[in-house]
Structure 1
């Protein structure tokens, strides 16, 4: 196992533990609170995380079962994610929590044991173990934000979000492709301020297209947890500006995003 994979897995474990501490021992009524995702309560959010972790384990260990999952998704490409979350979230809180705990532990064990260079099938291009762990971190972090909001809790902002920022930068072209747009041909310069105050930089400072601002805001934007108008992100260049309007670091079709706050709708 590479040092990078080990670090991503450790951060994924920490992020999952943070969310578990928030929801564990809460009454069932709290698990039924609506979240910002339309139609999803807290239980559906946790069920989605459990289902995706389980799917990643299957992708790494059982090709026949994985092919069955893909076939199921093809039969209902617009609804299979929602259906899995809502169906999984219909059980009691204790049962769902145990399921999610097991799925997280299994994923950690499986990804740590994969031979170097292994590529896992997924609902898009095949992924390395590190890429899979990064994607699972991104989703865990993003859905945790939804759960925090539903429960009226203030989420922590840590430098672990660098994994999400990196994924946002790496998926720039995907964001254009998924909307039928031609991606830019030249690299951007991305200069972000981390929660700790550290600077995170991608690209060269003489690039024509540039994005600067809060790393947290870019992570929230690329996971569609905030409206562009409510960020401090600044773009220099038309292509950089266009990217901030469509940034998306999760697989699947473009989402609807979030409305701007009332103050920024004026």
Structure 2
């Protein structure tokens, strides 16, 4: 088990990565018009404004879970249906202007980082499923920020260099293999799956037993968009070996809650690896 000091270093590093992922999306939002905030995203019935309202609100909820866990548990106890609660966030903040939306999310993000900095690195954070370690909770925020940011970029047709934080998203995607099945009421397969992914810097990211017969392989960004249900596997360059690996990629779900609808095959063009040369977000 890591010492308190080393875990504190991990928490600081993850918090910095979360801040960078948030800032990457803020750069996209800084240049859009008031009207574009109402643009639909690939998530059914969600506009860009809904996506950012979700991020701002759950930065607040995460802060609550970290710094005031008893209050979070009380709030959680009042919810009759998590999906209904989630879907209500966007409409509840529809009257906010674009400037207010940017300011709200920035304020909630800053308060979240303050709560992370003040927290015991060994704390267990309550959530809507099992309690999580603080590093795991921060990693989940990185994943969610990136995934909802992908929806925003898709709505705006923004082309972006793959995020350096993708290994965090891939890690959650691999760890939530069982959740992909249980969310649909399916038995978790006994067959393990090896994940072998190519990163933009030329390295290989792996997870799962080295001797597993079932394998998922391809670009790390493609794996991340599939496990967060931002792309159907048919629209990526991922390859699978074995029935369990193939079934997993059809239903992969790295987030908690009921089974998501995901994306339709053919909804997006097949994703090829982007050039390695530096390029920030660019609108065609």
TM-score (norm 2): 0.87
**CA deviation after TM superposition for structure 1 residue 213, in Å:** 1.2
State the distance in 2 between where 1:263 and 1:19 align: 21
| Matching of residue 93 in structure 1 with residue 98 in structure 2 | yes
Q: Aligned match of 1:135 in 134, 140, 152?
A: 140
State the distance in 2 between where 1:27 and 1:119 align: 41
State the distance in 2 between where 1:73 and 1:83 align: 12
Uncovered stretches (5+) of structure 2, i.e. residues with no partner: 1-6, 271-284
State the distance in 2 between where 1:192 and 1:91 align: 40
Q: Is the 8 A contact 1:229 1:264 kept in 2?
A: no
Q: Is the 8 A contact 2:142 2:165 kept in 1?
A: no
Distance 1:262 1:16, change over 3 A: closer
Provide the alpha-carbon RMSD of the alignment: 1.9
| Matching of residue 199 in structure 1 with residue 204 in structure 2 | yes
Q: Aligned match of 1:226 in 219, 227, 231?
A: 231
Look up the SS of the partner of 1:66 in the other structure.
helix
**CA deviation after TM superposition for structure 1 residue 238, in Å:** 1.4
Q: Aligned match of 1:111 in 104, 110, 116?
A: 116
More helix by share: 1
Superposition pairs of residues 162-201 of structure 1, within 5 angstroms: 162-201=167-206
Deviations 1:206-234 (A, max 9, x none): 21221111111110001111011112222
Please list every run of at least 4 consecutive aligned residues from structure 1 whose deviation after the TM superposition is greater than 4 angstroms. Answer: 262-265
**CA deviation after TM superposition for structure 1 residue 203, in Å:** 2.7
- Who is 1:8 aligned against? 14
Superposition pairs of residues 123-162 of structure 1, within 5 angstroms: 123-162=128-167
State the distance in 1 between where 2:101 and 2:78 align: 22
Look up the SS of the partner of 2:211 in the other structure.
coil
- Who is 2:274 aligned against? none
Deviations 1:75-125 (A, max 9, x none): x43311010122124311111211100111111111122113210110111
**CA deviation after TM superposition for structure 1 residue 25, in Å:** 5.3
Deviations 1:30-63 (A, max 9, x none): 2111111122111111000000110001111223
- Who is 1:67 aligned against? 73
Q: Aligned match of 1:84 in 82, 89, 99?
A: 89
Q: Is the 8 A contact 1:145 1:155 kept in 2?
A: no
State the distance in 2 between where 1:263 and 1:99 align: 31
The farther-off stretch of 222-231 and 184-193 is 184-193
State the distance in 2 between where 1:99 and 1:149 align: 23
State the distance in 1 between where 2:181 and 2:233 align: 16
Look up the SS of the partner of 1:242 in the other structure.
helix
State the distance in 1 between where 2:200 and 2:163 align: 6
Uncovered stretches (5+) of structure 1, i.e. residues with no partner: none
The farther-off stretch of 206-215 and 242-251 is 206-215
State the distance in 1 between where 2:8 and 2:21 align: 20
- Who is 1:214 aligned against? 219
- Who is 2:261 aligned against? 256
Q: Is the 8 A contact 2:82 2:257 kept in 1?
A: no
TM-score (norm 1): 0.93
How many residues were matched structurally?
264
Look up the SS of the partner of 2:22 in the other structure.
helix
